[in-house]
Amino acid sequence: MAKEKPDLVYGTLDMLILKALQHDARHGLAIADRIQQMSKDILRVEQGSLYPALYRLEAQGWIKAEWGLSDNNRKARYYKLTAAGRKQLASEQEHWSRITKGIDLVLSGA
Amino acid sequence: MPRLRAWFSRLVGLFSKNRYNAEMAEEMRQHVDLLTERKIADGMSPTDARNAALREFGGVEQIKEAAREQRIWRWADEFVQDVRFGARMLWRSPGFSILAILCLTLGIGTSAAVMSWIEGILIRPYPLVAHQDRMVALFGTKQGTTEKEGLSYPDFRDLQKNSTLFESFIVDRIMGTTLSIGDRAERASGGIVSANYFDVLGVRPMLGRGFRPEEGEGRNAHPVTVISYLTWRDRYKGDPDIVGKTQFLNGVQHTIIGVTPEKFHGTFIGYSFNFWVPTSMQETFDSTGYKLEDRGARWIEGFAFLKPGVTRQQAQAELNTIAQRLENDFPETNRGHRFEILPLSKTPFNAVANLSSTLGITAAVAFFVLLIACANVSNLLLARSLLRRHEMTMRLALGAGRRRLIKQLFTEGLLLSLIAAAGGIVVAYWCRNALVLVAPARTPGITIDYPGHLDWRVLALSVVVCIGSTMLFALVPAIQASHVDLSGALKSEGSGMIGGSGRSRLRSVLVFVQVALSFVLIAGTGLVLRSLVRMQNADPGFSTRSVVVSSVDLFSAGYKPDRAKIFYEQLLERIRALPGVQSATLARLRPFSYGVYSSAPLEIEGYQPPRNEQLAGDYNEVGEGYFATIGIPIVTGREFARTDDENAPPVAVVNEMMATKYWPGKEPVGQRLKVKDKWMEVVGVAKNANYRTKLEQSTPFFYVPVRQNFFVQDNIIIRTEQSAAAISNALAREVHALDANLAPLDAISLQEQVDVMSYTQRLAVALLAIFGGMALFLAAIGLYAVMSYLVSQSTRELGMRVALGAGARDILQLVLSRGLRLTIAGIAIGGITALLLTRLMGNLLYKVSPRDPIAFGLALIILLAVALLACFLPARRATRVDPVQALRV
């Protein structure tokens, strides 16, 4: 997606969203918060790319959405990982760690 | 799996787009609200917090758009867009859209209705009958003649017993009676049928039962009847306890044992039967005597069901064997007689035979109209595509993909044809029974029911043809557009040339085809119309104007011959005494009726028939003064007198044809002939006349005095200057005075009687006129569209011509000549086609050559006139071109 900001490597947002949903169902803002928190504020998810990504993942069948209530009793759409999403997360994580290992090797060996 | 799910989710997204959009908006609103709250908690003022939140979130619409793209197939989304755009385009040029849709709707609708009708009559005529594919018509033939005859009852039983390749045989004889319930009397038509009739056809009575096997046998032994649904509903007011009640039929009390289901009208196409009785009751309903044991009486129409897998040829071979055996066993009655089977569509006995050529032509004509409609719409689409060339070029220039453009045009074509197809189905639905309305009324009191249900296969075919052709031509501009040289096309917009041939060749071909097809239709209509006029004017050989016919159903009322003789004697006396009546007489049959003339083997004194020819002749039993009353001149000798009664020597009057056939060069008066073992002396020769229809060939025919050959059931023939209605009233009074229980049938003039028999021609004229008119209209639209387009495209050229000094006359001439050139080319081809096709019109033409110059000339004039009109409007517009305006563009 051309609109993604450069502080996220292209194509990684989907993986991060899946990871953020690994244990709990969350709504959009909470997903963004969670990613920010897990990355110790290094990664900030641009709202503009969050929703397209969420709908994309939903259309793929990796996450599922339903309406629920937030902590302060607001209506919100909660996203939850599906079984297919879990598998996808595992395979993307594996793929990612192989790639990063490779990149690390290239960069450190120079 | 995820792939499939994604597909499905997108599909759902496509169709529930609005709901998804709303949900999306809601979710994003909640998101912004949450952000705002968080910022308020951080100490911002509510307004600042909201603004900050909105800023942080970014452009809501862009996000939505980006999100939507994830959800919905791009092409599908575009498809919806295309449909919207297409609808808008159609809406924006309502003239074009309405015309195109109208043309297609009419084309699909009428052709589907007509084809369904034809399919219903010719191929599957009996809606409730199972295995119609194995059902065939069965009849008798006589060697040496082409005439088709019925079966005799004993022969029918032998066929049943001796055949192995047939599953079953049924027989059926149409007859009429007077059905009176309370004080209402009406003609009713019924069938004398074999006892297995309903079982073999697989028609289960809605109430009660059908006939039992034993009910078919025994002389007048089983007065039971099954009535039709319509009779039950209309005449018995839907009485649920009808079964077991009785009804007088022909003076015999019959027990009603069953009611047929609604859709079953009997096996005689064209008539809806009111009731059925088993063969055992034949004598009660047939005034010509008991026939169940008479092998020589061939009076019933047969149907047979072949066993599965048996071909017609095999079955026919078996019939031939059986016929030969019967010929050996019963040479007296069966010498030279054979059985033959034909597909239902060729049933020799009922209206199908009369209708088949009309139906065939109607089918061809409906197909022509469909073709013309398709050509027309294609033409309109092409015209519009050329007008939209600029738009297409512009869109290409602005970066639209060529495939996208093609898709767009494709969608528009699809939209157009789908709307039209829907309309066509509605039209077909409405029309399916309208054809029965076009069919002229026939014998009064007898309902006609043509199976007019809509056949989905026929409808589907018409729709496919229409959609196919529309799509084909919708795409032509797209293909053209994808070869557009952008810069060139944008530079010169109006480049049509009135004088040139150029790229509108395809459209010219279409117009040309339309004109040609229309010409064929109009010429055909002209031919049938002229036949009808000729027929109407043709002299049937008797007076039609001042002769009125009626009858009293004495047979149904149970009169025996002696009583009937006295009744007729008294009635005729009273009629002759009426003011304005010149003469009145009896005849067993009136001319041009559906009744069957008496027929008997003949022996002619002094005439040796060629070998294998069994002489036979048709005759009518008529009263004294018949020839004077009906207006058939006596050439030599005398006509029947009162004195030719049962005590006088038997006499006969022959027609000229018979006289020249059997007594060539001799004086016929005084010769003798033997009819049914009775020698008769010829006392007069009558001029030839038509006896059944005006189409018939002149045949030998003779008359015998009704006093010497009495029948209870006769027609009353009255020569009078009074109107038929006036006579009807007077007659009713006189009949009532003689017997208060009797009422005569409505008197009609012989002219009316004659008209009834020309109904196939009138039906053909009506249908051809409708379709011909439609074709003409469509062709005119086609021409108009082409000429309009040419004029609008060549504004620049026309302006130039005007600027160079061309006057309005020159311009008019230029445009008209171009249009007329197209028309004349079309007419030329149409003329050749028509010459080839009209020969196939067969028995619809009466004393009119299939190449009749008047019909062809008329078609030429009409088409030219319409073409002139269609070209004139655009041509006039051309003369108004302002050269300054035109050249400045």
DSSP per-residue letters across B812-864: HHHHHHHHHHHHHHHHHHHHHHHHHHGGGGGGG-SS--TT-HHHHHHHHHHHH
Is the pLDDT at B357 greater than 80? The verdict is no
Using CA of residue B100, residue B465, residue B790, residue B885, what is the dihedral sign? positive
Chain A residues close to B70, C-beta within 8 Å:
52-53, 55-56, 59
> With a CB-CB cutoff of 8 Å, which residues 96-115 of chain B face chain A?
none
Looking at mean pLDDT, say which of B216-225, B399-408, B455-464, B766-775 comes out highest: B216-225
Q: Tell me if B66 and A61 make a contact (CB, 8 A cut-off).
A: no
Query: What are the sequence ranges of the domains in chain B?
Result: 2-72, 144-335, 547-755
Q: Is A74 on the interface with B (CB under 8 A)?
A: yes
What's the gap in Å between the CA of B17 and the closest CA on chain A? 14
Q: For residue A91, list chain B residues with Cβ-Cβ distance below 8 A.
A: none
Q: Are B304 and B341 in contact (CB under 8 A)?
A: yes
Test B66 with A29 for CB contact under 8 angstroms.
Answer: no
Q: Is residue B720 classed as helix, strand or coil in its secondary structure?
A: strand
Q: Is B692 exposed, middle or buried (0-12, 13-18, 19+ CB in 10 A)?
A: middle
Backbone angles phi, psi at B606, to 5 degrees: 80, 15
Find the CB nearest A52 among B9, B23, B67. Answer: B67
Higher pLDDT, B711 or B461: B711
Distance separating alpha carbons of residues B889 and B867, to the nearest angstrom: 31
Q: B379: which 2 tokens?
A: 């033409």
% pLDDT > 90, chain B: 24
Assembly ipTM: 0.77
- Cα maximum dimension of chain B: 137
Task: Give the C-alpha separation, B699 to B565, whole Å.
Answer: 31
Rounded to whole angstroms, how far apart are CA atoms B657 and B664? 10
B176, B186 Cβ separation under 8 angstroms? no
pLDDT at B328 over 60: yes
Query: Most B CBs within 10 Å: which of A29, A46, A82, A91, as the mutation test of the B interface?
Result: A29
DSSP state of B246: E
Q: What is the mean pLDDT of residues A83-91?
A: 89
- Residue B240 β-bridge partners: none
State pLDDT tens for residues B119-156: 776 666 777 787 888 999 998 988 877 777 889 999 99
Residues of B in contact with A49 (CB under 8 A): 66
For helices A83-109 and A47-60, the axis angle rounded to 10 degrees is 130
Phi, psi of B69 (to 5 degrees): -60, -25
Taking an 8 Å cut-off on Cβ atoms, the answer to whether A51 and B67 are in contact is yes
DSSP-derived 3-state class of residue B556: coil
A59–B28 CB contact, under 8 Å = no
Q: Among B354, B361, B350, which Cα is nearest to B695's? A: B354
Mention every residue, 6+ apart, whose C-beta is less than 8 A from residue B10: A59, B71, B72, B73, B76
How far apart are the CA of B3 and the nearest CA of chain A, in angstroms? 7
Chain B partners within 8 Å of A29 (Cβ):
31, 34-35
Q: Within 13 Å of residue B886, how many CA atoms lie on the same side as its CB?
A: 24
> What stretches of B265-388 show up as alpha helix (H) in DSSP?
282-285, 312-329, 331-334, 351-387
Q: Report whether pLDDT(B362) > 70.
A: yes
Residues whose CB falls within 8 Å of the CB of residue B124, separated by 6 or more in sequence, listed in order:
B132, B451
Would the pLDDT of B452 be above 60? no
Q: How far apart are CA B291 and CA B340, in angstroms?
A: 21
Report yes or no: B886 and B799 within 8 Å, Cβ to Cβ.
yes
pLDDT above 90: residue B305: yes
pTM (whole model) above 0.80: no
Residues B449, B272: Cα–Cα separation, whole Å: 6
In chain A, what is the greatest distance between 2 CA atoms, to the nearest angstrom? Answer: 54
Structure token digits, residue B356: 């088949």
Q: Are B266 and B170 in contact (CB under 8 A)?
A: no
**Beta pairing, strands A63-69 & A75-81:** antiparallel
Given a contact cutoff of 8 angstroms between Cβ atoms, the answer to whether B719 and B584 are in contact is yes
Q: Which of B597, B655, B595, B630 is nearest to B716 (CA)?
A: B630
CA distance B198 to B259: 11
A70: contact with B, CB 8 A cutoff: yes
Mean local confidence (pLDDT), B703-731: 90
Tell me the pLDDT tens digit for each residue of B385-408. 666 767 777 777 776 777 777 777
The residue ranking higher by pLDDT, B439 or B312, is B312
B337 vs B147: CA distance, rounded Å? 11
Our measurement of the distance from residue B486's CA atom to the centroid of its chain's CA atoms, rounded to an integer in Å, reads: 54
Which helix (H) or strand (E) segment holds residue B570: the answer is helix B561-576
Residue A8 pLDDT level (bands cut at 50, 70, 90) = low
Provide the 8-state DSSP code for A82.
-
Short-list B342, B327, B336, CA closest to B143: B336
SS3 content of chain B, % helix, strand, coil (to 5): 55, 15, 30
B524-542 pLDDT per residue, tens: 888 878 877 887 788 889 9
Is-contact B243 B208, C-beta < 8 A?
yes
pLDDT tens digit string along B501-526?
445 566 677 778 878 888 888 888 88
Structure tokens of B508? 């010219």
> E strands of B68-110, at which residues?
none
Residue A65, beta-bridge partner list: A79
Q: Which amino acid is at A35?
A: I
Distance of CA B414 to the CA centre of its chain: 31
Domain boundaries, chain A: 13-109
Cα separation, B889 vs B884, whole angstroms: 9
Which two structure tokens, joined as six digits, stand for B657? Answer: 């044809």
pLDDT tens for B165-221 read: 999 999 998 887 777 655 445 677 889 999 999 999 999 999 999 999 999 888 889
Collect all residues of chain A within an 8 Å Cβ-Cβ radius of residue B24: 51, 55
The CA radius of gyration of chain A, in Å to the nearest whole number, is: 15
Smallest Cβ–Cβ distance between A47 and the set B10, B56, B71 belongs to B56
B28 touches chain A (CB under 8 A): yes
CA distance A100 to chain B (A): 27
* Identity at B176, one-letter amino acid code: G
Q: What is the dihedral of CA B849, B852, B856, B858, to 10 degrees?
A: -120
List of residues 6+ apart from B821 with CB closer than 8 A: none
- Chain B contact for A60, CB < 8 A? yes
Give the pLDDT confidence score for residue B572 in this predicted structure: 94
Across the interface, whether the CB atoms of A76 and B28 are under 8 A apart is answered no
Report the C-alpha gap between B295 and B280 in whole angstroms.
15
DSSP string, B22-75: HHHHHHHHHHHHHHHHHHHHTT--HHHHHHHHHHHH--HHHHHHHHHHHHS-HH
Residues in chain A closer than 8 A to B34 (CB atoms): 27, 29, 70, 74, 76
B342's tokens: 């034909």
Assign a CATH topology to domain A13-109: Arc Repressor Mutant, subunit A (1.10.10)
Query: Which of the pair, B356 or B688, is modelled with greater confidence?
Result: B688
Bigger pLDDT: A100 or B878?
A: A100
- The number of beta carbons lying within 10 Å of the beta carbon of residue B500 is 13
How far apart, in Å, are the Cα atoms of B819 and each of B87, B505, B816, B842, B867?
A: 32, 13, 5, 35, 7
B820: Cβ contacts below 8 Å, ≥ 6 apart: B864, B867, B868, B871
Residues of A with Cβ-Cβ distance to B9 under 8 angstroms = 58-59, 61
Highest mean pLDDT among A76-80, B428-432, B780-784: A76-80
Round to whole Å and give the CA distance between B333 and B152. 10
Angle at alpha carbon of residue B315, lines to B314 and B317, rounded to 5°: 65
Give which of B298, B342, B305, B318 is closest to B154, Cα–Cα. Answer: B298
Residue closest to B500 by CA, chosen among B818, B78, B25: B818
- Please count the other Cβ atoms lying within 10 Å of the Cβ belonging to residue B92: 9
Q: What are phi and psi of B180, to 5 degrees?
A: -115, 130
Q: What is the pLDDT of residue B276?
A: 94
Tokens of B259: 């009611």
